[in-house]
Amino acid sequence: MEHLHQSFTIKYEYNVFFTSGLFAVNNPLLNDFLSTSKSASVKKILFVVDEGVVNTNPNLINQIKAYFQQNNSAQLINDILIVPGGEVVKNDTKYFEQMVQAVNTHGIDRHSYIAAIGGGAVLDMVGYAAAVAHRGVKHIRIPTTVLSQNDSGIGVKNGINYFDKKNFLGTFAPPVAVFNDELFLTTLSDRDWRSGISEAIKVALIKDSDFFEWITYNAVELGQRDLTVMNLLIWRCAKLHLEHIAGADPFESGSSRPLDFGHWSAHKLEYLTNFEIRHGEAVAMGIALDTVYSHLSGRLSAGDCQRIIQLLQQLGFEITHPLLQVDGPDSPILLGLQEFREHLGGELTIMLLNKIGKGEEVHEIDTDILKQAGKLLLDMQFAVQK
């Protein structure tokens, strides 16, 4: 018998909205969005909120409830879930199970919504639960950090950590909408404000040299928490990120992950430090390591290398860590290369730099050059600290 063949295409479409005061009762944005969904059944909306966001925005829960008393395009589930922020919510499966239980308890169906408010880790976990419950409940993301507004919260990835490996369980499932509210940024600590800038530097280095120049020019204002400048950074970074997702491999069926420049070592470093180092801080160190490696391997000029490291340091980032040093074949960070290879599901593919704004994918890393790069970064960091 001849074989049967199947081929079909699914169109994904969603908006990233930018606003101020999303839950102000006179802000129609969220209610208007919910009104566009036509369904014969009652549309419910279940909120899951990052505990850290609740602590810095103590009126948030009451604001959400007041909003839906005035705006009734969806029925609010009054039992608003509060979960820990940071990697703990992805490391412990009880939070994922709590989410699935809430879907069952409150009768959240595929015409209803699960809205997550928080940093990237909370969005990842909630997005994963939404994607697997009923094979897909509509998911709304409301990112509250620089990093989640410009990078992780606007993409198509969801996941939790398993086997001590980052995002070992996960899905590619786009949200139905993303709402970036600038007011959440004003409550961030200086550390979290700065942390997300590393993802903007990353995407600029591999895709847009003009954006890198813009970040360099505005580095002082970014460090001084200029909200207007930060909003522009988030918008430009988000635009580049979305353009990439719309390309040839949005669900990463191949082994190429250019948006993970600087990430192979960052993911491992997060685990090795028990997540005491923020993702954005680890990415900054990973960017520094791969930048210097790019230079030492003959790809990147000394001038470009120096400019990148100087920008990271000007913004207040540490550029290396003792656990990033390669002292021998058993150095912990080298395990990150193998785990990255496994996570890609194919050959090792690492993005390096030829120049600012232009990357090159390579399929092997020279550990001797990696050792040199680590030591050079230690010297640079020590020189700044003196």
Distances in whole angstroms, Cα of residue 44 to Cα of each of 23, 127, 139:
17, 17, 12
Measured between alpha carbons, how far is 324 from 334 in angstroms, rounded to an integer? 9
**2 confidence band (pLDDT: 50, 70, 90):** confident
- Residue 255 banded pLDDT, cuts 50, 70, 90: very low
The pLDDT-based confidence of 105 (bands split at 50, 70, 90) is very high
Mean pLDDT over residues 135-155, rounded? 94
| Cβ neighbours of residue 182 closer than 8 Å, sequence gap 6 or more | 18, 19, 20, 227, 231
Query: Is residue 80 helix, strand or coil?
Result: coil
**Other C-beta atoms lying within 10 Å of the C-beta of residue 163:** 7
pLDDT band at 8 (very low <50, low <70, confident <90, very high): confident
Predicted TM-score (pTM) of this structure: 0.90
Domain boundaries, the chain: 15-187, 204-385
346 pLDDT more than 90: no
In CATH terms, the fold of domain 15-187 is Rossmann fold (3.40.50)
- Name the CATH architecture for the domain at 204-385: Up-down Bundle (1.20)
Closest CA to 212 of 317, 358, 351: 358
Across the chain, mean pLDDT equals 91
Q: List b or e across 70-98, with b for residues whose CB sees 16 or more CB atoms inside 10 angstroms.
A: ebebbebbeebbbbbbbbebbbbeebbeb
Burial status of residue 248 (CB atoms within 10 A of its CB: 0-12, 13-18, 19 or more):
exposed
Over the stretch 211-227, which tens digit does the pLDDT of each residue have? 999 999 999 999 999 99
CA dihedral 12, 201, 146, 19 (to 10 degrees): -60
**Nearest Cα to Cα of residue 272 among 339, 329, 318:** 339
As a whole number of angstroms, the distance between CA 155 and CA 170 comes to 13
Please determine, for residue 209, whether its predicted confidence score (pLDDT) is greater than 90. yes
| SS3 state at 165 | strand
In sequence order, the 6+-apart residues with CB closer than 8 A to the CB of 83 are: 48, 49, 50, 51, 89, 95, 98, 118, 122, 125
Query: What is the token pair recorded at 110?
Result: 């595929």
121-135 CB burial, b ≥16 within 10 A, e <16 = bbbbbbbbbbbbbee
